[in-house]
Structures are given as C-alpha cells and as structure tokens.
C-alpha cells in the first residue's frame, strides 16, 4: 500500500478506494476515480509495482477493492492504513515524523528533481491549480545545484 502511494502519488482516500478493475497492467496505467474534488484521473504505474500487485493479489485474492478490510468486498480502513505506516516507520528505524501525505509529496518532489515538467506533475497529482503544484518547486534544491549559469557561455 505504501509503495503504491509513493509510486503513483496517491492520496490516502484514493488508495483505499482503488478497485481491482482500476489497474490496467497492459497499458501500465492506474485509474483513480473520484479523487479530491470528485475528479477522475489516470496515472502511470510502473511494471515493478504491477509485479508487486500481482504477488499481493495471488496471496490476498481481493474481490472488489484492491485492498480490502476484514469484511470481503469492503475497503481497507484509514486506521489500519495508519497502523501499516507506523509499523513500517518502526521497522525502518526512521526518526523523523512521517505521514502518508509525505509519500505523495516525495513522489512529486522526485518527479520535479528528475526533470518532469510542472504541468505534468499537476495533472498526475490531480491539482486544479498550478499554484498548488508550485509548492514543490521550493523543495528541489538538488535541481538548483544542477542549474548552469548563462555566464558560463560568454
């Protein structure tokens, strides 16, 4: 679940509402239905994540939702997802405060640092306004270090 949040830049509710039919493994796409603002969007899903999901599917055999709770065909709960995150933080011995949204934020930041255009990131995150997406521009110091001064070409 945590890998999928990071790999696709999902919000908590978007992850919990994913259904099996939302994964298009042949095209490498994931459909997010009724995200924030009741928006639908499509994001790429890496072959590595698809392989992880196939393994998960073989073990868990969900019926409707990709991640199901105690009752079949019912979505996994937010509280249980928080426990998964807390357990992962403890196992990895991370001392900094980590939230589920931090994974989404990292996804956007890493896309930006690797040269992805801000307009694409806006679309992938499902932001209505580019102003919302622009919050990620101030955190990308790694990219700033790679900017070459035009003075060098004189």
**Beta-strand relationship, 23-24 and 41-44:** unpaired
Q: Is 61 a catalytic residue?
A: no
Q: Is 138 a catalytic residue?
A: no
Q: Is 36 a catalytic residue?
A: yes
Q: Cβ(6)–Cβ(43) under 8 Å?
A: no
Q: Is 119 a catalytic residue?
A: no
Q: Is 104 a catalytic residue?
A: yes
Catalytically annotated residue among 12, 76, 104, 107: 104
Q: Is 21 a catalytic residue?
A: no
Catalytically annotated residue among 21, 27, 36, 48: 36
Residues annotated catalytic, as ranges: 11, 36, 101, 104, 127, 136
């Amino acid at each position: 679940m945590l890998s999928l949040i990071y790999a696709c830049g999902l919000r908590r509710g978007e992850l919990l509402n994913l259904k099996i039919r939302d994964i298009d493994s042949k095209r490498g796409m994931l459909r997010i239905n009724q995200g924030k603002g009741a928006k639908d969007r499509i994001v790429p899903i890496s072959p590595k994540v698809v392989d992880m999901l196939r393994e998960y599917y073989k073990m868990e055999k969900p019926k409707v939702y990709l991640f199901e709770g105690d009752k079949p065909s019912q979505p996994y709960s937010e509280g249980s997802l928080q426990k998964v995150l807390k357990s992962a933080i403890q196992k990895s011995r991370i001392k900094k405060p980590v939230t589920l949204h931090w994974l989404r934020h990292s996804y956007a930041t890493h896309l930006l640092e690797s040269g992805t255009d801000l307009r694409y990131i806006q679309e992938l995150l499902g932001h209505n306004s580019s102003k919302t997406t622009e919050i990620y521009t101030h955190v990308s110091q790694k990219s700033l270090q790679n900017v070459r001064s035009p003075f060098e070409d004189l």
